[in-house]
Amino acid sequence: MKAVVISTEEGVNRIIDTSFGDIQTKKSLSESISELSSDEDDDELVNDPRYPEVKAATIQENSKKLEELRKRAGNSDGLLPILILAGNVSMIRKDVLKPAFEIAQDDPHYGFDFEVQEMDANQLTRKFVESIGKPNGKDGGVLVVNGLTRFIEMYDVNDQSGLIRNIMVNPMGGISTGWRVIFVEESESEKIYLSNSFVENWTKGNIYFYYIADSK
């Protein structure tokens, strides 16, 4: 399987836009609802007899969207996008993951609150998945797993998919747990053998495979 080659800077942007895209949408919807619910309306709009009805309908629609995002992460199956970042893992940690998390947490524009857990693929066992619980951050969490090919070797395709789904979605109710999953894989090439893996059968448009080119 061939990954899309991107720079470290692009990798940072992909994490913020893809892994945390739902948080930004929830933030925008919440701000919109707060603004519309306030008493500080534009005089010109207030004088429009249609405005109260439009305002109420917009608040109702945005509230419905926000609730659905909180439950299903914007997807009917409740799954958040999965990122696979291949290349020099040390470089990816230093030049992609670290700055992306710092921007998402510390930049005033974002200011997200999320937990980060890092682990090796051999730790991603059924016992771990059953005990992981909800993330500590109010905006969820990120599980960074080192060694995609090791994970693939440990389980068959169905078990791979089942474990990942159970991390991201409550199996009892289909509600998003708030966990996002990022796999990192040591590789010298954008071509990686991923036969018999969940990657090939995952929901289309909900998994992104990148090779991070060394910028030096």
Q: What is the pLDDT along the chain (216 residues), one digit of tens a residue?
A: 789 999 999 999 999 988 887 777 767 766 676 766 765 655 555 566 676 677 777 777 767 665 765 555 555 555 788 999 999 999 999 999 999 999 998 877 778 899 999 999 999 999 999 999 889 998 899 999 999 999 999 999 999 999 999 998 887 666 888 899 999 999 999 998 888 899 987 877 789 999 999 765
Rounded to two decimals, what is the model's pTM? 0.80
Angle at 140 between CA 139 and CA 146, to 5 degrees: 135
What backbone torsions phi and psi does residue 153 show, to the nearest 5 degrees? -70, -25
pLDDT of residue 155: 95
**pLDDT score of 69:** 59
Write the Ramachandran bin of 141: left for phi over 0, alpha for psi from -120 to 50, otherwise beta.
Answer: beta
Amino acid type, 163: L
Asked if 70 and 27 count as a contact pair (C-beta separation under 8 A), the reply is no
Residue 196: CB atoms within 10 Å: 14
Residue 57: its pLDDT value, please?
76
Helix axes 21-37, 51-72, angle to 10 degrees: 150
Structural domains of the chain, ranges and CATH numbers in brackets: 4-20+77-212 (3.40.50.300), 27-72 (no CATH)
